[in-house]
Amino acid sequence: MLFFNIGCILTATILVFSVKKALINYFNLLLIIFLTKKYILYIGHIIFN
């Protein structure tokens, strides 16, 4: 029973870390897309003015 509980805790911990990592990657991706768009608009503004 003790081993079963340890297994559950380990599984839960791994899941939480995976979700956290996925969320961080997702937010980084959104940030990169946002910054890239801003950068492209900025460059376009300079070129067309």
What separation in angstroms does the CA of 2 have from each of 5, 11, 15? 5, 14, 20
4-48 pLDDT, tens digit each: 888 899 999 999 999 999 999 999 999 999 999 999 999 888 888
Domain with 33 in it: 1-49
Interatomic CA distance for residues 42 and 40, integer angstroms:
5
pLDDT of residue 6: 87
Interatomic CA distance for residues 49 and 39, integer angstroms:
15
* Helix, strand, coil percent values for the chain (each to nearest 5): 95, 0, 5
pLDDT of 49 above 80: no
pLDDT of residue 2: 76
Domain count of the chain? 1
Tokens of 31: 């940030």
pLDDT of residue 14: 96
pLDDT of residue 48: 82
pLDDT of 1 above 70: no
